[in-house]
Structure 1
Amino acid sequence: MSVNSYVVGFPRIGEQRELKKVLESFWAKDCSFDDVKKVASDLKKRHWKYQKDAGIEFISSNDFSLYDNVLDTCILLNAIPKRFKNLKNEELYFSMARGNDSTVAMEMTKWFNTNYHYIVPELSLEDEYKLNATKIVEEYKEAKELGIKTKINIIGPITFLALSKRVDRGDTFELLNKILPIYEELLKELEKLDDEIFVQFDEPTFVKDNDSKILSLIKPAYDRLCEVSKNIKVVVTTYFEHSIEATKVLVNTPVWGIGLDFLYGEENIQALEDISKSNKKLIAGIVDGRNIWKNDIQTSLEKLSNISKTIDKDNLIVSSSCSLLHTPFTLKYEEKLQDEIKDWLSYSCEKLEEINLISKIFFNGVDNLKEKELLDLEKNIKSNFERKHSNLIHDENVQKRINVINSFENFSRDGSFQERIKLQKEILKYKDLATTTIGSFPQTPEVRKSRRDFKNATISKEQYLKDMKNYIDECIAFQEDCDLEVLVHGEPERNDMVEYFGEQLKGFAFSQNGWVQSYGSRCVKPPFIFGDISRPKAMTVDWITYAQSKTKKIMKGMLTGPVTILNWSFVRDDIPRSEISKQIAIAISDEIDDLQKAGIKIIQVDEAAFKEGYPLRNEKIKDYENWAVRDFKIAVSSAKKETQIHTHMCYSEFNDIIKTIEDMDADVISIETARSGNELLKIFKKVGYKQEVGPGVYDIHSPRVPSVEEMKTQIKLLLKVLPKEQLWINPDCGLKTRKWKETKQSLLNMVEAVKQIRAEYR
């Protein structure tokens, strides 16, 4: 009996975030690196066993990382920037990721259109690449000792270069012939490990609109890699979109298999004829690696049946659509979810069972299922039917408001930016180079405990409010002592910038343990959007008005925008994402109206995830931009001319979306630029951007404290691009994950740098 089951990759943070906890303990010097290695080893063994017990045949090694797989590839190739060359081992590794007292970390940005961040490699023609295969070899041997023969996951050479930047301003692809010999040397090392080795080269960059030059690199590269050893079977895997053009090239190379995503890249069906003629294995991604809904097994079997009309069944393997890194670990600990909603869900471990069951049915037929497997199939059919017809999903009142909104043709605010900003400056009276922060301040253990105790009903509401207000008081007192000019309340009541709002909106559900990795040890717990969305009552007004009552300075209201709430949630898949975003936008608009009626004069609507929601294919971008801009405008449409609207965007390349940012028509935009220098800002000058800008002057993802002189240098660089009248000065993101000591000193230095710059430029 044939069972062909494959998982592209598996989460590594641990089912109870064990890796996060030991890493942060190590960074705090509360444990040794040997402790980190032990936890990592235990997790890898446990994860391999889960997959084996679930019946998965193709299990990965080297999908595990202590921080990031792209960073691991830098170590593999010795692609190490000069400023780290004097460091070794774990000090080198974590300094590249996080920086240290004397050295700035490497840049970090989003992994395609997901909320996972990777470390951006810094390459140069002067680099001397050499192989360091220790991690890969040791992991394979670890698994083999457990009786598990793994496939070895490696970031493919073309994707590695596509994700890199040249510090000497050249084209990264010029370096292909320098790194390919290292990849070949690696395969020669791997050949020694077993009689037959499967190597999965992850090449997600193939799903983008690649020009002919990049496509021309695929065949010579994979011809070379496949010729290294007859014992190595090469699989090239893509995901998140279709890769038709690249697939048409890959079929003419000696690769053993090609992995395609048939959920987010439905167009891949057009590549089947070419794959069939090549007689290669097709790893068919039909179980969703990016979302938490239970697989519709009947629909998956229909997809596989359609695929098998072109691809011989013997050449088909059932797979996750991408790595399961993007989904939570297991439903086992979800004890508080409403039973009806929990029955609709599937996390990583449950997806393993789905892949196995689909594979068994597809290859061996229903008649050969065991009693438990038959029962699982029946439960799956029942769950999907009940979700589709549940009364929890639909809300007539929401639909009525949507119909009203749909009748509008223009969602723009009253007045042009020039009118608004003149009025706002007269009322708000802020200086050039106005200082502020992005919103959150450090979440202390005491704050987290109070919030947790209140949630668990072990302290009273009165005590909880007292604790939160004490924090807000201290936060405001520090900001006033520091002489910041536009203040924030610090957000102690917020667990997460999306979850906090989702908890107060109808149509959202929440997990106890639905953690996914965002970067390094940073984990997020996205809410689930399962139904129509509405705002039963004000969400932030009481907190912000309390904070404003404690200071005569301007207090910003802090909201998360509709597109970010959408992109950082697990989203229902029964209606278009654009319709869900519109529902959220209406709720945010109501909140803005309540805030300004309560006297709040500046309101920040963060769209941190705006860029990451972009489609990977150009032909799909315009539609996304249209509804994403529409929904930001709907959200802020209730703001009066004198209410200043800020927004914030995280790590992004803005060159290709600057016109879209202009169309959003926010009065002030703050952006993360600290790790990338001044390059991101130049586009704002190039296009003649009129609105005000707050480029981050220091990196909050690193624990190091930049000096006054360092920040003055950064501000002077900003002033070479934009005039002081247009600039705000702030950190590059929220301060939630930082410690108070470093936060205070960094902000004191930032404010002092601004004072000295103002004096020099007076």
Structure 2
Amino acid sequence: MIRSSALGYPRIGDNREWKKAIEAFWAGKLGEDDLHAELKAIRLGRLRKQKELGIDLIPVHDFSYYDHVLDTAAMFGLVPPRFRYGGGPVPLSVYYAMARGSKDAAACEMTKWFDTNYHYIVPELNGTNPALTFNGPLRAYREAKEELGIEGKPVILGPVTFLKLSKGYPPEQADSWLEKLLPLYLRVFRELADEGAAWVQVDEPIVAAELSEEDMRRLEFAYGEIAKAVPELNVMLQTYFESADRYDRIAELPVRGIGLDLARGLAGNLASLEAHGFPGDKILGAGIVDGRGVWRADLREKRALLDRLRGFVPDDRLIVQTSCSLLHVPVSKAREDRLPPALKEALSFADEKLAEAVWLARTARLGEGEPAEELAGCDSALRAMADSPARQRRDVREAVEELRAASPARSKPFAERRAVQEEKWRLPLFPTTTIGSFPQTAEVRKARELWRKGEWTEERYEEFIRGRIEEWIGLQEKIGLDVLVHGEFERTDMVEFFGEKLDGFAFTRYGWVQSYGSRCVKPPIIYGDVAFREPMTVKETAYAQSLTTRPVKGMLTGPITILNWSFVRDDLPREEVAYQLAYALRREVEALEKAGIGMIQVDEPAVREGLPLKASQRQAYLDWAVRAFRMATCAVKDTTQIHTHMCYCEFQDMIGSIEAMDADVISIESSRSHGELLDSFERETYPLGIGLGVYDIHSPRVPAAEEMEATIHRALRVLDPKLFWINPDCGLKTRGREETEAALGHMVKAARSARAKYGSSTRRRIPEPGGENIV
């Protein structure tokens, strides 16, 4: 009998109760016992909902107090020495210090979870002694059974993926670390088996990347040991995000089931099934419901796929499931009352995706007699979306094709542009700036809410925003920054703001998705052809520039970041949508330059996360990503300085593509990765302007100027001082005013100290806060 399953469900609650409880705890407004109680209520509520929807195999231990990779590290006692952990269950204070930092210790590194917009906390193995501090999957299994009568399917991050995502050990120690971790996994599995758990879902998304022979051997070793230790436990080896690499050998692993992504990994996994078949002793977890997109499943197409799979696997060994955890999509579309009806009908969020999986499993069991009405409704919804006039913009298609054919590039190479830009801007050695945003205080958020509700007029809201711009231009001058920003007080999310001003976008009211920790975002939905309407940022940027003689950067979000941080239509190649975005942003860049803005930052923090998991597909993606960026930025004058920004990714394998973007200056995160990015510059020269983030803005910790200066000095061992900028590693939107002023003050102090050490190449004098001038 075909069954249904899910791989994971959103943590945040219907109304982001999860986020609110955790942030209240951090703020000291909620005690630890109350936090546990509130999060338990959310956890049980999500399990109850999956039970009511009819899911047969409900995942447990997919919940987290922050991040599931951090949970795994804490469960195994892998706490870096700087957090002064004394063994046993990891206290919440230490757990959150690892995630966010403390006044005494820098946070662990945070980076992207494969090619998604979710961020995980990178485990650090050096200096740690692994030990099982508690059995999280067992605790979750017991809770679901005792509280709700649910025979749950415990979920755990697999040993090989966990090891590959960790840092702090040389490559030659990978096998010894696996041998240290495996006994802990075996104990977790043994206790689950003794408790009566029938299934455990072991997530190994690393299988969707291109596995080395060494990693394949580690998988074979690990799962051989698991099978010997707990032969009675049904292990579902779960892969997702792409097709399984080395499928022929993965299929031979001694596990009860193998989960395959048959949404994003459909072509590759189907080809493997055709070539090798599916083992007669295993169960197939068929991930045919897309766990990452928001578009309604074509039920007729999915039924045909399911029937095709039944040619490889009999019904009693087939599970219909989501392609990955539903962590990556909003909870439900039920309350979305402001979307166009045709668009809403074409959408599917977490609850709707579970219903699709249940429907597919149920109708397959029942045969062809029942589903006609549901199929007709699905067909109608999909057809209405396909025929929407928003998807038929001939003007956009023709303009983009013309621009694409022109091979966009700046009129002169960087070396020549640099000379005229230096003459124009006359900046000091090591110019200081920020990434763009300043604190979005409760006052700012309240003002925006009153304006959106119509309780404030446009004029009153604009006056309020101008007041914040005036205040922070003054503060930046007082602190001593060289290149200023207007602060982005009028903006909510860096993608949503632009999407609201472009054609082809729609916005939900409740479509929140976890990005990192308690940070939730509401991704726009690109459902039609993207088109520029009118200038989006000129008014605020030009006003800020009118308040100061120092340069003010225009601030835009780049085409690839808007693409990767949106839910994108599935009827066009992503490359084509990227070019539509680039064309719209090009017109905004031109409007800023016309208004007298001579520095324009086009942020691309999400370029790296869109990199395909398969190495063979990466260069093609990077080629069109670079082309889209250049489409947006190449039309400016030589004196106009184009900046970009990237953060929280591993950039070492794409330095060449970053250089090919041909931005005059890139600011890039390096503080949270503790300067490891610099290793790549030791191997490969970077010849354009660059600023490495000298402190981590995602932590409330304010590092001393001397700590920032140490980062600067290390960078200058491998980077040209004449091209080096100094900045935080990301925007300051989530930080408080006092810590922002303090940290930027320390940063300027560090820059001035570095200038004194390395000598000055300034051609103008920068006013000190007290009125003195410094060279």
Scaled by the length of structure 2, the TM-score of the pair is: 0.95
8 Å contact kept, 2:130–2:180: yes
Q: What does 1:418-429 correspond to in 2, within 5 Å? A: 418-429=415-426
Give the corresponding residue for 1:207.
208
What is the CA distance between 1:216 and its match in structure 2?
A: 1.1
Q: Distance in 2 between matches of 1:112 and 1:152?
A: 22
Q: Quick one: which of 731, 756, 759 aligns to 2:756?
A: 759
Give the corresponding residue for 1:269.
270
Name the SS for the 1:165 alignment partner: coil
8 Å contact kept, 1:62–1:135: yes
Give the corresponding residue for 2:10.
11
Q: Distance in 2 between matches of 1:229 and 1:677?
A: 40
Identity of aligned residues (%): 44
Q: Distance in 1 between matches of 2:682 and 2:639?
A: 26
Give the corresponding residue for 1:344.
346
Do structure 1's residue 30 and structure 2's residue 29 form an aligned pair? yes
Change (3 A) 1:30 1:232: same
Instruction: State the number of aligned residues.
Output: 753
Q: Distance in 1 between matches of 2:171 and 2:598?
A: 43
The one-letter amino acid paired with 1:227 is: K
Give the corresponding residue for 1:101.
103
Q: Distance in 2 between matches of 1:440 and 1:226?
A: 52
The one-letter amino acid paired with 1:259 is: G
Change (3 A) 1:755 1:174: same
Do structure 1's residue 624 and structure 2's residue 625 form an aligned pair? no
Q: What does 1:492-571 correspond to in 2, within 5 Å? A: 492-571=489-568
The one-letter amino acid paired with 1:234 is: V
What is the CA distance between 1:168 and its match in structure 2?
A: 5.9
The one-letter amino acid paired with 1:265 is: G
Q: Deviations over 1:379-437 (max 9, x none)?
A: 222111211222232112112212322432x2111100000011111101111110000
Do structure 1's residue 49 and structure 2's residue 42 form an aligned pair? no
8 Å contact kept, 2:2–2:317: no
Give the corresponding residue for 1:633.
630
Name the SS for the 2:489 alignment partner: coil
Q: Quick one: which of 397, 400, 408 aligns to 2:395?
A: 397
Do structure 1's residue 384 and structure 2's residue 385 form an aligned pair? no
Change (3 A) 1:218 1:278: farther
8 Å contact kept, 2:135–2:188: no
Q: Distance in 2 between matches of 1:66 and 1:135?
A: 12
The one-letter amino acid paired with 1:364 is: L
Give the corresponding residue for 1:162.
164
8 Å contact kept, 1:244–1:271: no
Name the SS for the 1:260 alignment partner: strand
Q: Distance in 2 between matches of 1:693 and 1:711?
A: 16
Q: Distance in 2 between matches of 1:480 and 1:347?
A: 46
The one-letter amino acid paired with 2:111 is: T
What is the CA distance between 1:368 and its match in structure 2?
A: 4.7
Q: Deviations over 1:83-121 (max 9, x none)?
A: 123365101100111110010000000000000000111
Q: What does 1:732-747 correspond to in 2, within 5 Å? A: 732-747=729-744
Q: Distance in 1 between matches of 2:102 and 2:396?
A: 50
Give the corresponding residue for 1:144.
145
Q: What does 1:580-619 correspond to in 2, within 5 Å? A: 580-619=577-616
8 Å contact kept, 1:164–1:172: no
Q: Distance in 1 between matches of 2:680 and 2:158?
A: 31
8 Å contact kept, 2:224–2:253: yes
8 Å contact kept, 1:393–1:530: yes
What is the CA distance between 1:169 and its match in structure 2?
A: 7.0
Q: Distance in 2 between matches of 1:173 and 1:639?
A: 52
What is the CA distance between 1:252 and its match in structure 2?
A: 2.2
Give the corresponding residue for 1:85.
84
Q: Distance in 2 between matches of 1:275 and 1:333?
A: 43
Q: Deviations over 1:33-69 (max 9, x none)?
A: 1221111100111100111111101111110001000
Q: What does 1:700-711 correspond to in 2, within 5 Å? A: 700-711=697-708
Give the corresponding residue for 1:258.
258
Change (3 A) 1:466 1:173: farther
Q: Distance in 1 between matches of 2:248 and 2:587?
A: 50
8 Å contact kept, 2:21–2:39: no
Name the SS for the 1:184 alignment partner: helix
Q: Distance in 2 between matches of 1:506 and 1:460?
A: 24
Q: Quick one: which of 424, 442, 446 aligns to 1:445?
A: 442
Change (3 A) 1:687 1:229: closer
The one-letter amino acid paired with 2:367 is: G
Change (3 A) 1:241 1:279: same
Change (3 A) 1:444 1:222: same
Do structure 1's residue 658 and structure 2's residue 655 form an aligned pair? yes
Give the corresponding residue for 2:324.
322
Give the corresponding residue for 2:771.
none
What is the CA distance between 1:377 and its match in structure 2?
A: 3.5
Q: Distance in 2 between matches of 1:531 and 1:653?
A: 32
Name the SS for the 1:546 alignment partner: helix
Q: What does 1:165-314 correspond to in 2, within 5 Å? A: 165-167=167-169, 171-194=173-196, 196-245=197-246, 247-266=247-266, 267-272=268-273, 274=276, 276-314=278-316
What is the CA distance between 1:170 and its match in structure 2?
A: 5.1
8 Å contact kept, 1:272–1:311: no
The one-letter amino acid paired with 1:17 is: R
Greater alpha carbon shift after TM alignment, 126-135 vs 156-165: 126-135
What is the CA distance between 1:191 and its match in structure 2?
A: 1.8
Q: Which runs of 5+ in 2 are unaligned?
A: 760-775
What is the CA distance between 1:3 and its match in structure 2?
A: 4.5
Greater alpha carbon shift after TM alignment, 431-440 vs 265-274: 265-274
8 Å contact kept, 2:209–2:245: no
The one-letter amino acid paired with 1:291 is: G
Q: Deviations over 1:630-685 (max 9, x none)?
A: 10110002211110000001112222111111111110011010011222023234
Q: Distance in 2 between matches of 1:201 and 1:616?
A: 20
Give the corresponding residue for 2:69.
70
Q: Deviations over 1:477-516 (max 9, x none)?
A: 1101101110000100110110100000000000101110
8 Å contact kept, 1:123–1:172: no
The one-letter amino acid paired with 1:402 is: V
8 Å contact kept, 1:402–1:583: yes
The one-letter amino acid paired with 2:258 is: I
8 Å contact kept, 1:442–1:739: yes
What is the CA distance between 1:451 and its match in structure 2?
A: 1.1
8 Å contact kept, 1:647–1:670: yes
Greater alpha carbon shift after TM alignment, 43-52 vs 398-407: 398-407
8 Å contact kept, 1:433–1:724: yes
8 Å contact kept, 1:498–1:526: yes
The one-letter amino acid paired with 2:145 is: K
Change (3 A) 1:210 1:276: closer
The one-letter amino acid paired with 1:399 is: R
Q: Distance in 2 between matches of 1:272 and 1:80?
A: 41
Q: Distance in 2 between matches of 1:220 and 1:237?
A: 17
Greater alpha carbon shift after TM alignment, 161-170 vs 397-406: 161-170
What is the CA distance between 1:127 and its match in structure 2?
A: 3.2
The one-letter amino acid paired with 2:676 is: E
Name the SS for the 1:217 alignment partner: helix
What is the CA distance between 1:474 and its match in structure 2?
A: 1.0
Q: Distance in 1 between matches of 2:98 and 2:427?
A: 38
Q: Distance in 2 between matches of 1:672 and 1:510?
A: 30
Q: Quick one: which of 464, 470, 475 aligns to 2:467?
A: 470
Name the SS for the 1:518 alignment partner: strand
8 Å contact kept, 1:590–1:638: no
The one-letter amino acid paired with 1:45 is: L
Q: Distance in 2 between matches of 1:343 and 1:565?
A: 24
Q: Distance in 1 between matches of 2:677 and 2:176?
A: 23
